[in-house]
A = this chain, B = another copy of it.
Amino acid sequence: MTDERTANDQSPWMPFENRRRARDEKREAVLRMAVQVFLEQGYHRATLNEVAERLNITKPALYNYFRSKDEILFECWALGQEQVDDLIAVINRSRQSGLGKLRALVHAYAETMATDFGASLVRFDPRDLKPHNAEKVRAAKRGIDLTFRRYIAEGIADGSIKPCDPKLAAFAIAGSLNWIGHWYQRGGSLTPDAIADEFAIRLTDGLARRSVKKASAEAAPAPRTRKPTKGENR
């Protein structure tokens, strides 16, 4: 009989193996496992005991790296937020029409929603955080919303998007995207990339001056934006 729950691939605490790793790597390992458990069971039903067990350690060991459960929750959220911030930064730096930026944002954001840390942005409840951190979350959400609105407004200004209320349009688009975090799960028939492609078109087609079908081969040939894993400035 194989010993249960022994030696999870992901854990750096392989029972009697190389336990020497940088502190930050372990912290991150905790977060990766925590976000998984939190999403799987919901924050309140999830216990730190289980998070620890899955990492082959015990609960108090977690307190070497984090002060409280809600701090872990916050840091999970923060990692997801960081991804979004990065992706927005890239798009901001790019030179395209408002519509182009909007499409790029939709695509990248949709992909993020299909990751654990991305989903945590919309599936975790800020009310579980200390007021201090809840405020940061609130501000960040506001920032994302404003980004959507800005791209839309830019698009209206430069003529790539037909006039509409940026606020409601942003709500509609962001809502659609955020919801991905609630229904997507690995192993389904849709791949994140396929979802992102479809949404990038469907969600913006109603706004575009020229339908995407007619304007197939456009001037700007790169509507999608890849993560800046490497410092690629073309």
Q: Enumerate chain A interface residues (CB-CB to B < 8 A).
A: 41-42, 44-45, 125, 127-128, 164-165, 168-169, 171-180, 182-183, 190, 195, 198-199, 202-203, 205-207
Contacts and interface: CB of A to CB of B under 8 A. Distances in A.
A174 B179 CA distance: 9
Contacts of A127: 41-42, 45
The 10 closest A-B pairs by CB, nearest first: A175-B179, A206-B206, A205-B206, A44-B44, A175-B176, A176-B176, A172-B176, A168-B198, A172-B202, A42-B127
A202 B42 contact: no
Classify the secondary structure of A's interface with B. helix
A84 to B, nearest CB: 16
Interface centre among A168, A169, A172, A183, by most B CB within 10 Å? Answer: A172
Contact of A175 (B45, B175, B190, B198): B175
A113 B165 CA distance: 20
Interface centre among A169, A183, A195, by most B CB within 10 Å? Answer: A183
A203 B176 CA distance: 10
A214 to B, nearest CB: 12
A179 B164 CA distance: 20
A172 B184 CA distance: 12
Contacts of A44: 44
Nearest to A173: B176
A182 B45 CA distance: 21
Given A168-B202, A169-B202, 18 more contacts: A42-B128, A44-B44, A45-B128, A164-B202, A168-B190, A168-B199, A171-B180, A172-B176, A172-B198, A172-B202, A174-B179, A175-B176, A175-B178, A176-B176, A176-B179, A178-B182, A203-B206, A206-B206
Contacts of A41: 127
24 contacts: A41-B127, A42-B125, A42-B127, A45-B127, A45-B128, A164-B202, A165-B198, A168-B190, A168-B198, A168-B199, A169-B202, A171-B180, A171-B183, A172-B199, A173-B176, A175-B176, A175-B178, A175-B179, A175-B183, A176-B176, A176-B179, A178-B179, A178-B182, A202-B206
